[in-house]
Amino acid sequence: MKPTDTGEGAYRVARIRERLAGDDIAELGVRVEERGGAVLLTGTVSSPEQRDEILRAVQDEVGADTPVRSDLVVASTAAPDVHEELP
């Protein structure tokens, strides 16, 4: 990936975000950044399936030549083990 002076990199990030927000995936909570020639995805998603779908869509959007790095976390479905006291 070689972002140009015309701002292609920024437009690409916007296009990825639009793709993720589209009807298929409907994901607005993932941060998309360009980092070291790759696209970096961070945030928490609701399921492993959602994470995998996001990764497939982003790779499809940027093409096979651009690495997609994922630091996406799947939200825990465990019950809490602590309460917060609000006196």
Partner 1 sequence: MIRIAAVGDIHLGEDGRGRLRPAFETLPDCADVFLLAGDLTRHGTVSEAEVVAAEVAGLPVPVVGVLGNHDYHSDQEEEIAAVLGDAGVTVLEGDSTVLDIDGTKVGVAGTKGFCGGYAGRSAGEFGEPLMKEFVRYTRRCATGLRRSLENLAADGSDVRIALTHFSPVPDTLAGEPSEIYPFLGSYLLAEAVDAGGADLAVHGHAHLGVEHGMTDGGVRVRNVAQPVIGRAFAVYDLQVPERTRPGGGPMDLEKPGSRRT
Asked if 84 touches partner 1 (CB under 8 A), the answer is: yes
> Min. distance of Cβ 59 from partner 1 in angstroms?
21
Among 7, 8, 44, 52, binds partner 1 (CB under 8 A): 44
Residues touching partner 1: how many (CB under 8 A)? 25
The stretch near partner 1 (CB under 8 A) out of 2-10, 37-45, 58-66 is 37-45
Residues counted in the chain: 87
CB 48 within 8 A of CB 73: no
Strand order in the sheet with 68-74: 31-35, 38-45, 68-74
